[in-house]
Amino acid sequence: MMRALRVGRGVWPGVKVRGAASASELGPIGFVGLGNMGGPMSANLLKAGCQVIAYDVSDAAMGQVVSQGGTAAKSPAAVASSAKTVISMLPSNPHVRSVYCGEEGLLTGLANGADTLFIDCSTIEPAVSQEVAKAAQQRGARLVDAPVSGGTIGAQQATLTFMVGGAAQDFAEAEKFLAHMGKNAIHCGDVGMGQAAKICNNLLLAISMAGTCEAYALGTRLGIDPKVLAGVINTSTGRCWSTDTYNPVPGVMDGVPASRDYSGGFACDLMIKDLGLAAGAAGSAQPRLSLPMGSLATQLYIMMSAQGDGLKDFGGLYELINKAQGSEKQ
Amino acid sequence: MMRALRVGRGVWPGVKVRGAASASELGPIGFVGLGNMGGPMSANLLKAGCQVIAYDVSDAAMGQVVSQGGTAAKSPAAVASSAKTVISMLPSNPHVRSVYCGEEGLLTGLANGADTLFIDCSTIEPAVSQEVAKAAQQRGARLVDAPVSGGTIGAQQATLTFMVGGAAQDFAEAEKFLAHMGKNAIHCGDVGMGQAAKICNNLLLAISMAGTCEAYALGTRLGIDPKVLAGVINTSTGRCWSTDTYNPVPGVMDGVPASRDYSGGFACDLMIKDLGLAAGAAGSAQPRLSLPMGSLATQLYIMMSAQGDGLKDFGGLYELINKAQGSEKQ
């Protein structure tokens, strides 16, 4: 089942191609958090014929999941009392703490000896995943953190990648459910390591995109054709995903956000959120770690957002770097 | 002859596979600057049977080229008066200005109507290449800038990549010579655009390497195995050459500088030089361009150099980021 991917000069282990279990085998699945991500994820479980018992604070979201065949629960506790597997997809640290550990929270609904598996797909700080996992364990339950990459389109098309932290057997069990909502699951280590992997990847992505914007802004200022520059960089040591797959310079590639005024991509504001998680995790690590490059990148994306472009793709930073300085060359 | 390379989602044009002309066809070749790069480059011309008329300020370097079959000239002017093609490989802006335009410089040695082709392989500011090219043109000669990537090993093994700026026919002529010293030549546009491509690539490289060091420092601090983290990043949006081909974390990849205490790589001090060229070019561009990410990366590499590691591979920044903050986790 293990697929080794060859990338660059190394062989990188860890991406599993998983077999989905059938709906009847899976039993009732709890789902808390039916937003832009959780909504389509739960819809994919329903499409696969699974029984979904759902909760969300929004009545509209609840109405939708019921219209798709799901069952409405009146609280997270009610979800946990009627499903042995519960998936959560929530916006941030406090939501996760409250949905799991609050009054009427998931943990209060656990029956004695229920051995429930919680799969938390929220992107939060690793330390919060670990804290909630510990609380679950004290109630006899298990938790894996499983943040995703792939965005709302990946959620709709069931092509998400899950970065999973937890015990090996819990990962194996979680995969049977995740297979209905995504394409890849990577076991990253113990609880919290899914978050760690996602945060570190997105930190590097934020930095390399900012660097890509700067390098192309310099190149065009010096008079080189950005397509020619892409030809050099993408076959050389400066290559990265931001330049060879998601180039932020309009006209260099088709089908990327830069070719449609930075719409339909990874929102600048979401990148700022992930950078905040990286900064929080680094600042509270033992010993603490400073992130100079990440910190500057964050300020640049905040500047972009402050100019009204927070919902645009984060590659729109290229425009800011060029325009703010008055270039008419583009 | 044109080879289109597929990288990521785009097709990138521009890398030429060149046919080398025979030594007799090429005629006498001038060569100025026989240092760590120019020495082995001229040796490769001699190995190919070419006639080389060489000049260097160092008597030792001159002794060596003569022992390899080259002819010693007493000045750059003397080189230019006896060869219709002259290659130069010099350390920085002032050296290029002086070797070309100074007393006893290359341009003073040009015979009337010589139509000499100068191939300057130095890495300098685009504006200086353009200035020297203009001076050469006023004397009836032509110049292409052709900075290299591949380092001293590439120079020794004749596997350099040349980024060339100049007229198309001058590029085509230069290729016949470059083929004896390297593997690839990319025509990047007019004079100066070879420099622009190299500077922009190395700017992005410096930034993405610094980001890679930071992301892995955060990951290990949070407890994720750096090999597992590499498995995630190298198959995801954070991937770049610095992580998938040249990983700076000891133990993640074999055969990279990180696996041998950052020896035998791309010296931190050389990266600082290239970043200085980027800053200079950006600061004097019209309109000016600021390079916030490049500027911070420069400061980090300077910090590394200031701690005595300027000759180590620039990926050694990983050690600085980790150690300076007292981590014992590595």
Whether the per-residue pLDDT at A85 is higher than 60: the answer is: yes
Is residue A163 within 8 angstroms of chain B, CB to CB? Answer: yes
Whether the per-residue pLDDT at B329 is higher than 70: the answer is: no
- Which domains are seen in chain B, by residue range? 2-189 (3.40.50.720), 197-323 (1.10.1040.10)
Over residues B81-91, mean pLDDT: 97
Stated as kind and residue range, the H or E segment containing B81 is helix B76-82
Instruction: Write out pLDDT tens, residues B10-29.
Output: 444 445 445 678 888 899 99
Instruction: Write out pLDDT tens, residues B157-183.
Output: 999 999 999 999 999 999 999 999 999
Stated as kind and residue range, the H or E segment containing A148 is strand A148-149
Output the pTM of the full model. 0.90
Phi first, then psi: give them for residue B297, nearest 5 degrees. -60, -40
The closest of A126, A117, A114, A108 to A163, measured between CA atoms, is: A126
Point out the residue among B230, B256, B282 whose CB comes nearest to the CB of A12.
B230
Mean pLDDT across chain B, nearest whole number?
92
pLDDT at A19: 65
At A7, the pLDDT band (50, 70, 90 cuts) reads very low
Strands B160-165 and B148-149: antiparallel
Point out the residue among A13, A161, A204 whose CB comes nearest to the CB of B233.
A204
Q: Which residue of A has its CA nearest to B212?
A: A204
Is residue B302 within 8 angstroms of chain A, CB to CB? Answer: no
Instruction: Write out pLDDT tens, residues A217-271.
Output: 999 999 999 999 999 999 899 999 999 999 999 999 999 999 999 998 999 999 9
pLDDT at B144: 98
**Residue A229, exposed/middle/buried by CB under 10 A (0-12, 13-18, 19+)?**
buried
Contact B193 A233 (CB under 8 A): no
Contacts of residue A106, defined as CB under 8 A and 6 or more positions apart, other chains included, come to A30, A32, A76, A77, A79, A80, A86, A88, A99, A100, A118
Over residues B43-51, mean pLDDT: 97
Q: Which residue of A has its CA nearest to B220?
A: A196
pLDDT at A23: 84
- Cα-based distances in Å from A158 to A30, A91, A145, A146: 18, 19, 18, 15
Instruction: Write out pLDDT tens, residues A186-197.
Output: 999 999 999 999
Contacts of residue A78, defined as CB under 8 A and 6 or more positions apart, other chains included, come to A53, A55, A109
- Interfacial A residues in 35-74 facing B (CB < 8 Å): none
Contact B293 A196 (CB under 8 A): no
Is residue B223 within 8 angstroms of chain A, CB to CB? Answer: yes
Contact A293 B296 (CB under 8 A): yes
Point out the residue among A199, A218, A253 whose CB comes nearest to the CB of B289.
A218
Cα A30 to chain centroid, rounded: 20
Provide the 3-class DSSP secondary structure of residue B14: strand
Instruction: Write out pLDDT tens, residues B90-138.
Output: 999 999 999 999 999 999 999 888 899 999 999 999 999 999 999 999 9
pLDDT at A22: 84
Contact B192 A300 (CB under 8 A): no
Instruction: Write out pLDDT tens, residues B246-272.
Output: 999 999 999 999 999 999 899 999 999
Strands B10-16 and B160-165: unpaired
Contact B217, B253 (CB under 8 A): no
CB neighbours (10 Å) of residue B13?
16
d(CA A242, CA A212): 7
Contact B280, B273 (CB under 8 A): no
Over residues A196-206, mean pLDDT: 98
- Min mean pLDDT across A197-201, B77-81, B111-115, B137-141 is at B111-115
d(CA A220, CA A42): 45
Residues of A with Cβ-Cβ distance to B161 under 8 angstroms:
236
pLDDT at B112: 85
Strands A182-189 and A160-165: parallel
Stated as kind and residue range, the H or E segment containing B10 is strand B10-16
Whether the per-residue pLDDT at A306 is higher than 70: the answer is: yes
The closest of A172, A295, A136, A257 to B237, measured between CA atoms, is: A257
Over residues A60-89, mean pLDDT: 98
d(CA A30, CA B165): 62
Whether the per-residue pLDDT at A329 is higher than 50: the answer is: no
Whether the per-residue pLDDT at B53 is higher than 70: the answer is: yes
**Residue B330, exposed/middle/buried by CB under 10 A (0-12, 13-18, 19+)?**
middle
**Neighbouring C-alpha atoms within 13 Å toward the C-beta of A310:** 12
At A81, the pLDDT band (50, 70, 90 cuts) reads very high
Distance from CA of A37 to the nearest CA of B (A): 19
Q: Which residue of A has its CA nearest to B13?
A: A231
Contact A145, A192 (CB under 8 A): yes
- Min mean pLDDT across A27-31, A56-60, A148-152, B53-57 is at A148-152
Contact B233, A200 (CB under 8 A): yes
Q: Which residue of B has its CA nearest to A242?
A: B237
At B5, the pLDDT band (50, 70, 90 cuts) reads very low
Residues of B with Cβ-Cβ distance to A225 under 8 angstroms:
189
At A112, the pLDDT band (50, 70, 90 cuts) reads confident
Whether the per-residue pLDDT at B49 is higher than 90: the answer is: yes
Whether the per-residue pLDDT at B330 is higher than 70: the answer is: no
The catalytically annotated residue of B16, B198, B323, B329 is B198
Residue by residue, DSSP assigns A68-121 as: TT-EE-SSHHHHHHH-SEEEE--SSHHHHHHHHHSTT-GGGGPPTT--PEEEE-
